[in-house]
Amino acid sequence: LVSSGSTGAPARRSAGDVPDLVAKAREGHPRAVARLISLVEDESPLLREVMAALAPHAGHAQVVGVTGSPGVGKSTSTSALVAELRKADKRVGILAVDPSSPFSGGALLGDRVRMQDHALDREVYIRSMASRGHLGGLAWTTPQAVRVLDAAGSDVILIETVGVGQSEVEIAGLADTTLVLLAPGMGDGIQAAKAGILEIGDLYVINKADRDGADQVRRDLRSMLALAERPEGSWRPPIVKTIASRSEGLDEVVAEIDKHRAWLEESGELERRRTRRARDEIEAIAVTALRARWGDVHGRSELDDLAASVVAGTSDPYTAADLLLEAFSE
């Protein structure tokens, strides 16, 4: 079932609708799920109540991040992965997050078309989301959307995001298991090292293995991964070759995701990752709330006044920061 982003006018909702929406979403009604995610995208004031109602029902889903350079085959792989997960009768939620554009639209339209294989499957929920480019980017909108899908009964939630700059690192923070896709002929060996993706992958997928050079990418990657120092007992990320466009190799990807999941549970890393994720989310909400408080009172903010005093030399940044925190922390 494919749902568009909040491109239309957001429906006005009163607080009285929230319990009903949450109840319907928990039963897996796609419309209710869509509305809740729209509330997240719109940064609605109702989110406070929504999240309080959802929190006790979340925590079941396995969250899998799919990242890699543009065109490497993330959407094709995600779609093929969904088919594989459906064979095992898993309910799947998919979030395509575009951190580069402040509004959902063009870039993700192609993805929706590609996902049409699953568009009529009630056990698959697909949603593209834009992050608004506020501080933290994906930091709190994505985990909240994940919480909605989780509470709606997803067994697996796939988050696809283009690997641009920071977002790769961010997605690693959002997922239990992070898949990094590479492909031959994209200069990915060098890119891998540059973009710091060697630290974030729990599983590396060399896609487009039908093309020349896949084995070379695998060798390069293997030697780069071998250089990374890993403490005893830590996870050693496997490398899997796939041809996503022909749905080849995805069974092995699913098997490796399952192995990683088992390791996460045994090692205690799942708990650590989820705690870290919650911390990041709390921090992002707190910082956003503080910013909202000290921003724009009568056009000129307290922060502007403090900045002026620092520039004038009548205050210093530490004193100014103390004053700011004092003024807005009650």
Ligand X SMILES: Nc1nc2c(ncn2[C@@H]2O[C@H](COP(=O)(O)OP(=O)(O)OP(=O)(O)O)[C@@H](O)[C@H]2O)c(=O)[nH]1
Taking contact as CB under 6 A, which single stretch among the options 23-31, 63-71, 82-90, 308-316 is the one that binds ligand X? 63-71
C-alpha angle 153-159-161 in degrees, rounded to nearest 5: 165
Count residues binding Mg ion (CB under 5 A): 3
Binding partner at 71 among ligand X, Mg ion, none, C-beta below 5 to 8 Å by kind: ligand X
Task: Pick the closest to residue 96 from 80, 82, 81, 78 (CA basis).
Answer: 78
38 phi and psi angles, rounded to 5 deg: -65, -40
Query: At 174, is the secondary structure helix, strand, or coil?
Result: helix
Among 207, 241, 284, 315, binds ligand X (CB under 6 A): 207
From the list ligand X, Mg ion, none, partner contacted by residue 98 (C-beta under 5 to 8 A by kind): none
Tokens of 115: 């996902």
Q: Quick check: 244 and 77 in contact, CB under 8 A?
A: yes
Distance of alpha carbon 146 from alpha carbon 328, whole angstroms: 30
98 vs 145: CA distance, rounded Å: 14
Residues within window 31-90 making contact with Mg ion, judged by CB under 5 A = 74-75
241 lies in the site for ligand X, by CB under 6 A: no
- Alpha-carbon distances, residue 68 vs 7, 60, 137, 269 (angstroms): 26, 26, 18, 23
Q: CB under 5 to 8 A by kind: which of ligand X, Mg ion, none does 207 bind? A: ligand X
Residue 210 contacts ligand X per CB under 6 A = yes
Least distance (Å) from ligand X to the CB of residue 71? 5
Q: Which two tokens stand for residue 202?
A: 């729990």
Q: Which is nearer to ligand X, 206 or 324 (CB)?
A: 206
Calpha distance 147→150 (Å, rounded): 5
Q: Which of 37, 47, 51, 74 binds ligand X (CB under 6 A)?
A: 74
- The stretch near ligand X (CB under 6 A) out of 40-48, 120-128, 239-247, 319-327 is 239-247
- Per-residue binding letters, 89-128, with ligand X (x by CB under 6 A): ----------------------------------------
- Residue numbers at the binding site for Mg ion (CB under 5 A): 74-75, 111
